[in-house]
């Protein structure tokens, strides 16, 4: 058969009139913006589990488009880079420094030149750290001495970083369990030029409602590739002698964890049959207990394919299985009592069980929850735990103090509140790691410690409290000041007299300090500098206003450097809708105007460099009954937008005729709806959005109804269905490899097609090899240039109102 080659001129002539189809070179924003984007980021800083050290890690802020363009497998819900047999990494660390908090001594880890690393992990005793090093031929495992900085390679490039954790420490701090590529694996499965037959999926009449996931298995070759890259051999390595001991047989191990005494392993192994409708973590899997030699002790559970879990429900059978802290080897897990269906009427929804070594008896029930189990925190007092449960109908969380070993002891409710109530948030219990690597809640007598955001009408003021579990009274130990933003990072050393905090303000870059709670003194630990000092003079303030229906709103207003009082600027309003059940909670202030502003990536804040005002985080609450709140979605976001514009107009800082709106993901969905249903904006920018809700028929965001239960809502809320009403210019940007549930690239492609068909002014930018967020340097700079050009043309240079 002869190939038919269509000349480019003929292909162009066949395109519809008005169509523009081209792959253009990457664009650049102004040089001042490039300089800020490419400025080296401040290192990441992590307090060690004991609070004795700070780990300072330098990293590359952006990969190149060349790196993102290397071969990539998008299968089973994950993205695998075949070159190094790992999940796709877009952030690499390039240097590590360990700082001793007590003395200030710094030790630089000695690394090979131009090393690209994964995140480091501490050994239980904090003498050592381990990290993967990525090379052209694979990923190696390295180990470094914290005291001397000496680093050495522990394995060749055989580390498997696809479906499992890659490596974990043994409780003794001397051995590591490592996921390795099986020896003699051979070459990967090759595509066949001739298909063996059609790809078939079948429904047997059982209800199976799942969200619309991407990067799934598509055919038998994908299954073979998943087997090839995800299969590992678990090896135990002695870091002192280098001895390597194989454990068990090769398999796809999604997790493996040592018991606190190190004598057993809890292993989670994925098995066939796979599914083309869900990700790998929903595939059938087996939970097993192995002994220290890798021999099977007990097969704890066989969990089937989880493609029939009710919407908003959980899988039946054991889940959240883990080792119980402060016990040598005792499993604890939870099982549903309602068939996993949240709509089933029942007094108790979940039950906790335990099974201690030697794992031969019958599991013992520990506790039943009235609502869905949401987590457990074990106190340092043996047998005591804080157990949380969640009522999805009310978005309500209840946490109780339970003595799991004394069933006759009445549980005591400690917290009982809306999960959305930031003003009432008591904070989260502070935990530490034991010498064996167990996570426990710090307990002194009958008291625990709570760290929280400290939300208030004036903004967030984070705090550290000590709570007496007997009286439920709290004592405030630390709180952020009025004109700054400070957060608790952890206790320093073995006691609770000193804490490490992160301090920042509008003009102070985030840095770490050691604070003595007894002496009320502080010592600076890090001295990071401003990566973009040319923007220090921006103005930033929290503003509050009220929607027509009485709901209080807020946002952060930014004004450019050298703004002149009374000058009316073009405005960029950037937002993301959030659903609430209570209007009073919806109106709570979120965030702080006293935080330092970093200009990173393709942030909308870069519009400040171009002479715009920016209202960032403009609240767009959708308030109502969780079952029906989206019935008034459009009316509520339009009301919120109008209230924000009116407020800024009243303040005299914006020209209301030059307002652009933008958002990312659900914010893009909001943007398109605003342009379709109101005339408040001159133009819009919608990034990585979903515009046709019939393509997400089993729910989206917090929508609990399916398309078949509420077809009118799915139709009304879909901007695609109202493309004929979009009469303001809209810029659509989307990653061609978007992996977010629901935001398939076709969402933007079809929406643009509909807009073009109705004569709208629109531009579609599809970014090669980019996902839901954009990472490559070239892509980031191009997105900024596109956004500037679009709003300069359609917002800034509109008729300027003189008032």
CA 276 to chain centre: 24
Which residue, among 179, 150, 326, has the nearest Cα to 248 in the 3D structure?
Answer: 179
Q: Among the options 227, 772, 789, 792, which is catalytic?
A: 772
Helix pair angle (633-651, 666-677), 10° resolution: 80
Q: In the chain, what is the straight-line distance between the N-terminal and C-terminal CA atoms, in Å?
A: 71
Distance CA 397, CA 265 (A): 33
Phi/psi-derived region of residue 232, left when phi > 0, alpha when psi is between -120 and 50, beta in every other case: beta
Q: Which pair of tokens denotes residue 207? A: 């209800």
Q: Which pair of tokens denotes residue 724? A: 């004929």
Would you tell me how many other CB atoms lie within 10 Å of the CB of residue 40? 11
Q: Are strands 730-735 and 762-767 parallel, antiparallel or unpaired?
A: parallel
Q: Among the options 738, 771, 779, 782, which is catalytic?
A: 738
Q: Could you tell me how many helices (H) and strands (E) the chain has, helices first?
A: 10, 48
285 is catalytic: no
Cis amide linkage into residue 273, ω under 30° from 0: yes
238 is catalytic: no
Would you tell me how many other CB atoms lie within 10 Å of the CB of residue 227? 16
Contact status, residue 480 vs residue 451, Cβ threshold 8 Å: no
Q: Among the options 665, 718, 748, 771, which is catalytic?
A: 665
b/e string for 310-346 if b means 16 or more Cβ within 10 A? bbebbbbebbebebbbbbebbbbbbbbbbebbbeeee
Contact status, residue 80 vs residue 120, Cβ threshold 8 Å: no
Which residue, among 215, 146, 18, has the nearest Cα to 741 in the 3D structure?
Answer: 215
Which DSSP string corresponds to 47-69? E-TTSSEEEEEEE-S---HHHHT
738 is catalytic: yes
Residue 558 pairs in a beta bridge with 540, 614
Q: Which pair of tokens denotes residue 673? A: 């709806």
DSSP-assigned letter for residue 630: G
Contact status, residue 116 vs residue 134, Cβ threshold 8 Å: yes
Which residue, among 771, 659, 797, 547, has the nearest Cα to 74 in the 3D structure?
Answer: 771
Distance CA 348, CA 760 (A): 54
User: For residue 654, what is the enclosing H or E element?
Assistant: strand 654-664
100, burial (CB in 10 Å: exposed 0-12, middle 13-18, buried 19+): middle
CA 467 to chain centre: 30
Q: How many residues does the chain have?
A: 803
471, burial (CB in 10 Å: exposed 0-12, middle 13-18, buried 19+): exposed
Q: Which residues are catalytic?
A: 665, 738, 772
């Amino acid at each position: 058969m002869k190939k038919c080659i269509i000349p480019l001129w003929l292909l162009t002539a066949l395109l519809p009139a008005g169509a523009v189809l081209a792959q253009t070179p990457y664009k650049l924003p102004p040089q001042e913006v490039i300089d800020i984007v490419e400025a080296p980021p401040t290192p990441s800083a992590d307090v060690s589990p004991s609070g004795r050290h700070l780990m300072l890690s330098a990293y590359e802020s952006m990969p190149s488009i060349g790196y993102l363009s290397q071969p990539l497998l998008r299968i089973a819900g994950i993205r695998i880079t075949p070159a190094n047999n790992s999940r796709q990494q877009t952030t690499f660390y390039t240097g590590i420094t360990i700082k001793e908090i007590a003395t200030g001594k710094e030790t630089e880890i000695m690394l090979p030149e131009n090393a690209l690393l994964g995140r480091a992990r501490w050994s239980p005793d904090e003498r050592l750290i381990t990290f993967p090093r990525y090379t052209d031929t694979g990923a190696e495992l390295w180990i470094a001495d914290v005291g001397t900085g000496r680093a050495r390679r522990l394995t060749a490039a055989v580390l498997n970083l696809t479906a499992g954790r890659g490596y974990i420490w043994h409780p003794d701090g001397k051995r590591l369990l490592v996921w390795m590529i099986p020896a003699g694996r051979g070459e990967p499965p090759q595509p066949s030029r001739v298909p063996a037959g059609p790809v078939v999926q079948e429904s047997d009449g059982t209800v199976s409602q799942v969200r619309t996931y991407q990067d799934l298995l598509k055919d038998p070759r994908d299954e073979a590739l998943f087997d090839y890259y995800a299969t590992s051999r678990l090896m135990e390595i002695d870091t002192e002698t280098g001895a390597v001991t194989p454990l068990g047989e090769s398999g796809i191990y999604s997790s493996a964890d040592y018991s606190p005494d190190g004598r057993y392993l809890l292993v989670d192994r994925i098995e066939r049959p796979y599914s083309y409708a869900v990700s790998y973590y929903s595939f059938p899997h087996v939970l097993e207990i192995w002994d220290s030699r890798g021999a099977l002790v007990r097969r704890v559970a066989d969990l089937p394919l989880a493609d029939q879990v009710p919407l908003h429900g959980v899988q039946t059978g054991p889940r959240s299985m883990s080792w119980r802290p402060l016990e040598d080897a005792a499993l604890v897990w939870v099982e549903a009592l309602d068939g996993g269906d949240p709509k089933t009427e029942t007094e108790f929804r979940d039950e906790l069980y335990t099974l201690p070594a030697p794992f031969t008896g019958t599991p013992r029930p520990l506790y039943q929850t009235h609502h869905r189990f949401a987590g457990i925190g074990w106190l340092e007092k043996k047998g005591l735990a804080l157990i949380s449960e969640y009522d999805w109908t009310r978005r309500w969380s209840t946490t109780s103090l339970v003595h799991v070993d004394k069933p006759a002891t009445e549980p005591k409710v400690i917290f009982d509140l809306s999960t959305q109530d930031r003003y009432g948030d008591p904070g989260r219990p502070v935990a530490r790691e034991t010498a064996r690597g167990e996570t426990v809640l710090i307990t002194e007598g009958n008291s625990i410690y709570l760290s929280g955001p400290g939300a208030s009408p004036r903004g967030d003021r984070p705090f550290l409290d000590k709570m007496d579990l007997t009286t439920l009274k709290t004592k405030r130990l630390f709180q952020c000041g009025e004109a700054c933003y400070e957060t608790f990072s952890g206790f320093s050393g073995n006691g609770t007299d000193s804490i490490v905090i992160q301090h920042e303000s509008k003009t102070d870059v985030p840095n770490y300090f050691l604070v003595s709670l007894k002496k009320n003194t502080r010592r600076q630990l890090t001295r990071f500098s401003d990566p973009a000092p040319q923007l220090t003079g921006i103005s930033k303030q929290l503003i509050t206003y009220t929607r027509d229906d009485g709901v209080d709103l807020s946002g952060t207003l930014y004004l450019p450097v050298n703004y002149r009082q009374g000058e009316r600027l073009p405005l960029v309003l950037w937002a993301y809708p959030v659903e609430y059940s209570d209007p009073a909670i919806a109106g709570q202030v979120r965030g702080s105007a006293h935080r330092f502003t970093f200009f990173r990536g393709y942030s909308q804040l870069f519009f400040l460099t171009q002479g715009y005002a920016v209202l960032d985080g403009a609240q767009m609450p959708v308030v109502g009954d969780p079952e029906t709140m989206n019935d008034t979605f459009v009316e509520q976001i339009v009301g919120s937008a109008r209230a924000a514009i009116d407020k800024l107009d009243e303040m005299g800082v914006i020209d209301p005729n030059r307002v652009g709106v933008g958002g990312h993901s659900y914010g893009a969905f909001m943007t398109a709806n605003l342009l379709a249903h109101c005339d408040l904006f001159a133009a819009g920018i919608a990034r990585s959005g979903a515009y046709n809700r019939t393509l997400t028929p089993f729910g989206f965001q917090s929508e609990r109804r399916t398309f078949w239960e509420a077809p009118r809502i799915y139709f009304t809320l879909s901007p695609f269905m109202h493309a004929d009403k979009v009469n303001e210019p809209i810029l659509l940007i989307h990653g061609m490899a978007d992996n977010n549930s629901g935001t398939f690239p076709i969402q933007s492609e079809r929406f643009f097609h509909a807009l073009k068909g109705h004569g709208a002014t629109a531009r579609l930018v599809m970014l090669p090899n980019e996902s839901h967020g954009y990472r490559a340097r070239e892509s980031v700079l191009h997105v900024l240039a596109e956004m500037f050009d679009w709003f300069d043309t359609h917002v800034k240079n509109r008729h300027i109102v003189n008032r």
